[in-house]
Amino acid sequence: MQPKTVKKLRACLQPGKRVHLVGIGGVSMRPLALVLRDRGMEITGSDMNASVSTEELQSHGITVYIGHNANNIRGASCIIRTAAAHNDNPEIAAARAAGIPVFERAEAWGVLMQEYKNAICVSGTHGKTTTTSMLTHIFMEAGRDPTVMIGGFLPLLHAGHRVGNGNTIIAESCEYCNSFHNFSPTVAVINNIEEDHLDFFKDLGEIKASFRHFAELVPENGLVIANGDDKNTVDALQGLRYRTFGLGAQNDVHPEDVSADWRQCTVICDGAPYCSLSLAVYGEYNLVNALGACAVAHDMGIDGACVSRALAEFHGAGRRMQFKGQCNGADVYDDYAHHPHEVASLLKAVRSMGYERLILAFQPHTYTRTKALFHQFVEVLREPDVLVLSEIYAARERNTVNIHSSDLAEKIPGSVCFDTLPEVSEYLRSIAKPGDVILTVGAGDIYTVGETICKTKE
Q: Is the pLDDT of residue 418 over 90?
A: yes
Q: In one letter, which amino acid is 10?
A: R
- CATH 3.90.190.20 domain range(s) in the chain: 322-455
- Report the pLDDT value the prediction gives residue 45, as an integer from 0 to 100: 97
- Angle, CA 149 vertex, CA 312 and CA 23 arms, to 5°: 145
The DSSP string of 417-446 is EESSHHHHHHHHHHH--TTEEEEEE-SSST
Q: Say which CATH superfamily domain 3-107 falls into.
A: NAD(P)-binding Rossmann-like Domain (3.40.50.720)
Q: What is the pLDDT of residue 391?
A: 98
Residue 458 pLDDT: 46
Query: For residue 197, how many C-alpha atoms fall within 13 Å in the half-sphere facing its CB?
Result: 18
Q: Where are the beta strands (DSSP E) in 157-256?
A: 159-162, 168-172, 187-190, 223-227, 243-245, 253-256
Q: What is the pLDDT of residues 313-370, one digit of tens each?
A: 999 998 899 999 999 999 999 999 999 999 999 999 999 999 999 999 999 999 999 9
Determine the CATH number of domain 322-455. Answer: 3.90.190.20
pLDDT of residue 103: 97
Integer Cα distance of 23 and 169 in angstroms = 22
pLDDT for residue 151: 83
What is the rounded distance in angstroms from the CA atom of residue 241 to the CA atom of residue 12?
Answer: 35
Instruction: Out of 148-162, 294-308, 374-388, pick the least confident.
Output: 148-162
CATH 3.40.1190.10 in the chain is located at 116-312
Give mean pLDDT, residues 37-49. 94
pLDDT tens, residue by residue, 97-108:
999 999 999 999
pTM: 0.89
Domain with CATH 3.40.50.720 in the chain: 3-107
**What average pLDDT does the segment 195-212 reach?**
96
- CATH code for the domain defined by 116-312: 3.40.1190.10
Q: Give me Rg for the CA atoms of the chain.
A: 22
Report CA dihedral (133, 138, 143, 146) to the nearest 10 degrees.
-30
Q: Please check whether residue 197 is in contact with residue 175, taking contact to mean a CB–CB distance below 8 angstroms.
A: yes
